């Protein structure tokens, strides 16, 4: 059974810092890995999707990497802003195209 | 529609009552998912529909929970004889399905259920 772990559970940084969120998964036979953002009381917004054959994806100030063999992914946020404050969720889709298994998220607070 | 639409956004009910939650996926998306997010917990998979295939019901927590998808589009999640532990946010997502090969999921805003 796939298990996804996110570290740290919470992170507080001053505006302007670069930061890294970590995600690990136990079964390396994955179809893709997705990073989502969730604001309080809202649904999930897709940030980046990395296919199993890819090593990284970039969107603006966000960069996500994938090391399938070691079961790890990182989300790098450059020059953080208060608007980046949210919970970031990592999710893995197992091979064969099925459902997503989620980590419990990292709650990020960026202070002005 | 432009995105995944869920209704109601909030539902308060009494213990023992039945509730229905609705999800309208993105037009043309063949895959539809239901997840549950309880306070302080991660997202818990409930059920997955893919086209005309039999749904994957492996995440439904009890036989009080059921879901259907009519005409390959709108889905309804039904919870019978609600219990207080059913209180959670129920999230629906859709994707283009296996044909698109990307597997990217798009989520609705969720239905917050409170059982008194």
pLDDT in tens, A29-68: 998 999 999 998 889 999 999 999 999 999 999 999 999 9
Per-residue pLDDT, A97:
63
Q: What is the mean pLDDT of residues B80-91?
A: 96
Binding-site residues on chain A for chain B (CB distance < 8 A): 31-32, 34, 36, 42-46, 49, 51, 89, 91, 93, 97-105
Residues constituting chain B: 116
* Nearest CA among A16, A12, A10 for reference residue A81: A16
When pLDDT is cut at 50, 70 and 90, the band that residue B98 belongs to is low
Q: How far apart are CA A71 and CA A92, in angstroms?
A: 10
Number of neighbours of residue A100 by Cβ within 10 angstroms: 27
Cβ–Cβ < 8 Å for B115, B79:
no
**Chain A: residue whose CA lies nearest to B104:** A49
> Using CB atoms, which residue from A31, A44, A102 is nearest to B103?
A31
Contact B102 A49 (CB under 8 A): yes
Closest CA to B86 of B109, B107, B108, B60: B60
Place B101 in a pLDDT band, splitting at 50, 70 and 90.
Answer: low
pLDDT above 70 covers a percentage of chain A that reads 99
Inform me whether the pLDDT recorded for B92 exceeds 90: yes
Distance from CA of A107 to the nearest CA of B (A): 11
Cβ contact, residue pair A98, B59, below 8 Å: no
Residue A94 pLDDT: 85
User: Containing H/E element for A11?
Assistant: strand A10-14
Whether residue B40 is predicted with pLDDT greater than 80 in this model: the reply is no
Query: Which residues of chain B neighbour A92 with C-beta distances below 8 Å?
Result: none
pLDDT in tens, A75-105: 999 999 999 999 999 999 988 767 889 999 9
Q: Are B31 and B48 in contact (CB under 8 A)?
A: yes
């Amino acid at each position: 059974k796939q298990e996804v772990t996110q570290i740290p559970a919470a992170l507080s940084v001053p505006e302007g810092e670069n930061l890294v969120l970590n995600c690990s998964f136990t079964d390396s036979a994955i179809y893709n890995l997705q990073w989502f953002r969730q604001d309080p009381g809202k649904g999930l917004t897709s940030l980046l999707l990395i296919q199993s054959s890819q090593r990284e994806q970039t969107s603006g100030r966000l960069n996500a990497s994938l090391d399938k063999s070691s079961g790890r992914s990182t989300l790098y946020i450059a020059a953080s802003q208060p608007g980046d404050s949210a919970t970031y969720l990592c999710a893995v889709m197992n091979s064969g195209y099925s459902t997503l298994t989620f980590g419990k998220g990292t709650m990020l607070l960026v202070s002005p | 529609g432009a995105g995944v639409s869920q209704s109601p956004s909030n539902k308060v009910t009494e213990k023992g009552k039945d509730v229905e939650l609705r999800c309208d996926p993105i037009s043309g998306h063949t895959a539809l998912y239901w997840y549950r997010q309880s306070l302080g917990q991660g997202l818990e998979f409930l059920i997955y529909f893919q086209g005309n295939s039999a749904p994957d019901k492996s995440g439904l927590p009890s036989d009080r929970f059921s879901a259907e998808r009519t005409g390959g589009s709108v889905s309804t999640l039904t919870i019978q004889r609600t219990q207080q532990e059913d209180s959670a946010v129920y999230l629906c997502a859709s994707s283009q399905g296996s044909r698109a090969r990307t597997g990217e999921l798009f989520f609705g805003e969720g239905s917050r259920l409170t059982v008194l």
